[in-house]
Each structure stands twice: as C-alpha cells, then as structure tokens.
Amino acid sequence: MASLSYCELLHVPSAPNPHSPPKPYLGIYLSSGKLEEPVSGCKDNAFIQVAGIIGGSPAEETGLRKDDIIISINSTPTCRHTGNIFTDFKKMIEHQEIGSAATIDVMRGGQRLSLTTRLKRAPPHNQQEAMHPDIGACSAPSLLSNKLDVQGGLTVFNSVIDRLYQRSNAIHNPGWPYEKETNPLQLRELTYLMRHPLASGAVAKGLTLELVSPLHEKNWGLEETVRKAAGLLDLDLPPNSPPDGITFPGLLRTMEETKSKVEHALSRLRPEEKALLREKALRPWDDDKWNAVLDISNGFDRGELLAAFTPLLSFFTRDNLSLLKEDLIARFGHNKGPILFEATTPIGKVIVGGQGPNVYTEDAALILDLGGDDLYLNNAGGTRPDIPVALVIDWEGNDRYITNEIFSQGAGVLGGGFLLDLSGNDTFVSADGSQGAGFFGIGLLYHDRGNSIYKARSFSQGTGQMGIGLIVNKTGNDHYLCSNDAQGLGLFGGAGILIDEAGDEYYQLGGSEPDFRDPLKSTVSMGQGFGKGIRPEKGTHGVPGGTGILIDEKGDDTYIADYFAQGSSYYYGLGILNDMAGNDQYISGRYSQGAGIHSSVGIFVDQRGNDFYYASFGVAQGMGHDYGIGFFEDDHGDDYYWGGTLVQGATTMGSVGVFIDRDGIDRYWHLDSGQGFATESDSIAVMITTESAAGLKNPVDDKRSIRLGLKPLDQ
C-alpha cells in the first residue's frame, strides 16, 4: 500500500458541484433565550433569541429588534425539542418560500407581539477554489471507491460532499460590505480542500514541497519561498529584476526604495487606522474594536504591500550575502573598534559591526555584523512605528538575541522585519509577535547553521496575520518553545510557516493559557501547523482563517502541545504539519494531529520513521467536526498510536475524517468512538491500515484493511 498513489487508494469520482438553489433568509444573528412561562414539549424552555439585526434584511424591515425572543414562525415553535436549536431554526427558514409572508410571534420586554415579514433571497456566494488538475486526473476506481460501492456508501459520500460544497460557499457575515458574492479573505486552497477532502494529503505534500524546494538550490534564495507563501494567500507577486551590484550603498538604496513603497501601500489608511492596527495586532478579536479592525484590514492592498519587499528579498541568496560581506570588509575593514560604521540615514539608524563581540542596545533599521559572539538587546530586525523596514544580517558567532519588547527578531507590523543569522549556536528570547511574525506585513527569521534555542511568549515562530510570517532553520538540533499561538500559525488573511530542514528538534507549545472546556487540566496551544479563523456571534464579525504550516524535513523530533495543534484548524482555516523523515514523538491533548473543527481543514502527514502518537482526550488523528475535514497520513514505519475518544478516523456533523497508515508493523489503542467511526448519517469516517496491526477494533483479514464509518441517510 505504501506505493499506491492517490488515484489508486483514495480517489472517489463525484458528481459536478451541485447547483445551489435560491434560499430565503431572515437576516438575524442567533442566540438562545428562555421564556418565563414553561412551554410544553420545549426542552429547557429555550427559544431562538435575536442577537443582532443585519442591515437591509427582512428582519430589519419587519421591525425585529435585538433581544427579541422568537416564539414561533407560522405557528411552529422555535424552541428546542431534541437536537440543535440553531440548526432547526435555519432549516425552518430555508423551508419557507422566497417572497412569502411569514408570521413571527415574539416576546419583547414581557409583551407578546405578532409581526409579518416577507423573506428575501439570501445573497448568492460562489467562492473560487485553487486548481490541482493533476491530482484529480484519475482513470480507474480506487480501493476506497470500490469499498464504498460494496457497502452502499457512495450515496452517503456524495451527499456529504454536496453539503461541504454548500458550506464552502457559506456567507460569514450577511450584509457586510466586503462580503458580497465572495468573502475576500477565504483562501482558495481551503475552498478546494473543502470540496475535495480526500485529496488533502496529496495537496499538503505538494504545497510543502513548493515551499522548501527553493531552499535546496545551490544558491538558495528566500525570495521564491516568500513568493510561494504569498501564493497561499491568493497573491501573485510581480517579477523582480536582480539588484544592480551587491554593495552596501546598493542595499541602502534598496531599503530606502522599499520604505517608500511600503508607505505608499499604506497611504490609504488614516493615521488613526494605522494606530489601531498596531495597537490591536495581537488578539484583535478580544474586544469591541474587532469589527473596526476587520473593516480596516480590508481597506488596503496586501499584494501591493508584500510586493514592496521583493527587491530587498533578492539580496537574500547565498552568493549575494557573500558578495555583500566582501564589500563591507573592503569598505570598512581598515576601521578600528567594534563598530565599523554608524550613521542616521533616511531609513533610520544604520550600523556595521566588526568581527569581534558587540552589544546592540538601540533599535536600528539596519545592522550588518561580520562576526563575533554578539548580544542584541534591541528590535533585531523588528519594525517600529518609525522603522517600517528593519533588517539584521549576522554572518558568524554564537549570538544572543534577548528582549522583552513585542514585535522583535524578524517581525513586521505594517511593514517588513528581517533577521538573518548565518552561523553559530544562537539563542533567541522575545515577547509576543516575534521570531518570524508578520501582521499586516511580513516577518522573516532565517538561521542557517548551528544549534539554536527559540523562546517566545505567543504569536511567534512563524505566525502570519494579513501577511506572511516565516521562520526557516537550515541545520542544527533546535528547541522551539512558546506559550501559545505559534510555530506555523495562520490567522485571518495570513500565512504562518515554520520550516526546519535538518536536526533533532524539540517543539513545545502550550501550558500557560487554560482552555475553558477543562481549565484545571488543559491549555490552549493553537499552532504547530494551525489555521485559525473567528466565528461570527452576537454582533461580532466572523472571518475565515489563514494557512498555518509546519515542515520538518529530517531528524528525530518531539512535538508537545495540548488543545488545537499539530496539523489542525478552526473555522475556515487550513493547518498542515508535514514531517518528512525521522523517528518522531507527537504528544497532544485535543483537536490535534489532523483535526478539522468547524468548517476547516486540518492535515497531518508523517512520511517516514518509527513514530509515537498520543492524544490524551482525543478528537484527533484524522477527525472532522462540524463540517470539518480531518486528514491523517503516516506513510512508512512501525508506529504506536494511543488516543482518547473520536480518534483514528472519526467524524461528527457533516464532516470527513480520514486516517491512513500505509506501511509498517503498527499498534493502535483508543478509548472509544474511533477507528472509522461516524456519529451521524451525514458524515464519512475512513481508516486505512496495513495487515501488520495490533489493537484494532474488530480486525479483519485484509492486507489493505479499509474501515468505514457511515450510516444510511434515513437513519
């Protein structure tokens, strides 16, 4: 089975995308409320309550108000009987005819009112998807397709795919001015995978290979990797001409031109809007300024902003950095003292350090250090309000980068921050939003050779929000330590990427922020390849998540996290973890190891090695929840799996969960509800294993064992 292609193993032919018939809508945000007097047959006496009114909707025209409790529509009670009260209410509205009159009985301030409305057609949506023609070019039925056919599951499968297609076109914020026929921040790769969930593994391998391939070129360059990251945001950066001469003056000119282009790209924003974006760059969804932040975020061109940096990125190749160092030595090598050159320029303070140890305490726009064991106590390639473009290049030495300031060490906020350290056993310690983090801009941290320690608080180590955050480590045994929200995290409109090429790595994420589900025993991680969006609720705008990717190419690695991590996702986000080789350990709590939660896609791939997987609570290891896609694939090696509940190919509520172990002598353990388990008839769970497996529930004598979790649609 290890050699079987996607076409041979997974591809299931599906009908053309279904035509979405016009649907009626009322135009309210939903909450629940209780009536004082109990109503017979209503569980918990809970009814639909209006949490907000959408402008221009039938609800507004009818006179519905916030906090009204809707008792019934056309005499049908809106109370909860058994299932989900919100789902039942949406179905109740959708079953009405567009333009038809509907009588709505409400309770307002203790008074019962009867209102009449005419339901309008819901605004149509048709999100564009990415293109992967080679992946879908399959000519013969796959093993999974045959299995579905034998078990009568093709009807169920096509029904699930149809509903996911409709979900991929969902309206996040009806009436929002930036969301008309499409939502501009819903990414095409995410939309494609919601419609083609079985292709998740093949797509993830292809995307990660595109990101790492430029770094393996002889004259490696970071520009092409950044271009590929921009492509994940549906942005195509324009071609760039090579710089005219790799010299110190040439670099200064390029940085000055870049600064001018950045200022032009942000010129549409008013000063107070820029100030708000800086102030709320971290956790902007946590207070009443969130809707304003999201509105401002759609008011400037990310493509123009990111394109401003391509001339500067062209300096970042192996050959160009060598030429730049030679020019610095020829130009300043005769100078005495630790600092060879220092000046205030149009881009800000510029410093050239010699080959001995230096201590840098003041923030600077540009620091070029030729060697020595240096100490950086400043922004170290992090933007500041007066430094929209910041760059540090350190060629040699065992350096320490230490700060308690946010947005440092290769971090960009409304600009671009770059930190390149080319050799040495280095230590990076910072606060939030640092170490390869981009917020409304780009942040890049590159480390070439040596053993490194990266320690930050949150939103760091490859975090992108309305931009690109990228951390690349070539070789060395490294430690990545962070409290939460880091290590390949894609927030709205962003791509957050962590790439480690070789070495035995230790990734630790979580342990500080309690998760409300079990605050005494669990913490939030949100990273290690995680895409996170924000769900709309009670007057708060929702937004699709970005793309978070963690790629580890070689080494025996350890990944430790708790809730929400390790190739997982939340609300229209895309999360990918791809470990390409090594004997690895993965330890997590919940919503992890290939889990897609609430209309999102989480993909976990381990391509080679004898691995250990542990998910204490579960909802992991190829698990889809609430129209989510969870995909888990281990290609080679003798592996051990332990999980709690809903693991190893499991689904709920219209989702797809896939678990594949292609090869090896494996052992499986779980508590309950796993190994090809679907809770509802509108979900599909798949578990594919080899013949050499122990601990499977109800094992079968089949060299290519496929377990399906599905129920007839009438159950």
How much is the pLDDT for 571? Answer: 98
Asked if residue 400 belongs to a domain, the reply is yes
Last residue of a domain, one of 102, 121, 140: 121
CATH number at residue 112: 2.30.42.10
What pLDDT does residue 698 have? 55
Looking at 474, 503, 532, the residue that finishes a domain is 503
Are 250 and 114 within one domain?
Answer: no
* Any domain includes 77: yes
225-233: average pLDDT: 97
pLDDT bin (cut points 50, 70, 90) of residue 228 is: very high
Average pLDDT estimate for 498-525: 95
Question: What SS3 state is found at 83?
Answer: coil
pLDDT band for position 703 (50/70/90)? Answer: very low
pLDDT mean over 107-136? 88
Going by the DSSP 8-state scheme, the letter that residue 593 receives in this structure is S
pLDDT-based confidence at residue 490 (cuts at 50, 70, 90) = very high
**Three-class SS state of 147:** helix
Whether 178 maps to a domain, the answer reads: no
Q: What is the mean pLDDT of the chain?
A: 92
Helices (H) and strands (E) in the chain, counts: 14, 48
Q: Is the pLDDT of residue 81 over 70?
A: no
Render pLDDT for 374-395 as a digit per residue (tens, 0 to 9). 999 999 999 999 999 999 999 9
Are the CB atoms for 363 and 385 separated by under 8 Å?
A: no
Same domain membership, residue 260 and residue 399: yes
In a domain, 456, yes or no: yes
Task: Report how many domains make up the chain.
Answer: 2
Kindly state the tokens that stand for 184. Answer: 């501009």
pLDDT at 691: 62
pLDDT: is 177 or 215 the higher one? 215
**What distances in angstroms separate CA 150 from CA 160, 276, 507, 679, 711, one per listed residue?**
18, 58, 43, 21, 14
Alpha carbon of 74 to those of 90, 103, 108, 114, 291: distances in Å? 14, 5, 18, 10, 34
- Residues 315-349 pLDDT 10s: 999 999 999 999 999 999 899 889 999 999 999 99
Q: What is the pLDDT averaged over residues 510-518?
A: 91
394, 425 contact by CB (below 8 A): no
Q: Do the domain assignments include residue 206? A: no
Q: Which of 473, 503, 533 is where one domain is finished? A: 503
The answer on 454 and 322 residing in a single domain is yes
Which residues contact residue 213 at a Cβ distance below 8 angstroms, ignoring those fewer than 6 apart?
none
For 334, the token pair is 């005769």
User: What's the confidence (pLDDT) of residue 153?
Assistant: 87
702 — pLDDT class (breaks 50, 70, 90) = very low
496 plus 359 within the same structural domain: yes
pLDDT tens for 428-468 read: 999 999 999 999 999 999 999 999 999 999 999 999 999 99
| Domain contains 698 | no
The residues near 621 (Cβ < 8 Å, ≥ 6 apart) are: 593, 594, 595, 604, 613, 615, 632, 641, 643, 647, 648, 649, 659, 674
Is 493 part of any domain?
Answer: yes
Residue 419 lies in a domain: yes
- With the CA atoms of 650, 653, 655 and 657 taken in that order, what torsion angle do they form, in degrees rounded to the nearest 10? 0
In a shared domain, residues 316 and 453 = yes
Instruction: Give 404 or 2, the one with higher predicted confidence.
Output: 404
pLDDT at 22 over 90: no
- What integer pLDDT is reported at residue 269 of this predicted model? 95
Give the confidence band of 712 by pLDDT, cuts at 50, 70, 90: low
Percent share of the chain, pLDDT over 70: 95
User: In this predicted structure, which of 95-99, 255-259, 305-309 has the lowest mean pLDDT?
Assistant: 95-99
Look up the domain containing 284 and give its range. 244-503
- 487 and 348, same structural domain? yes
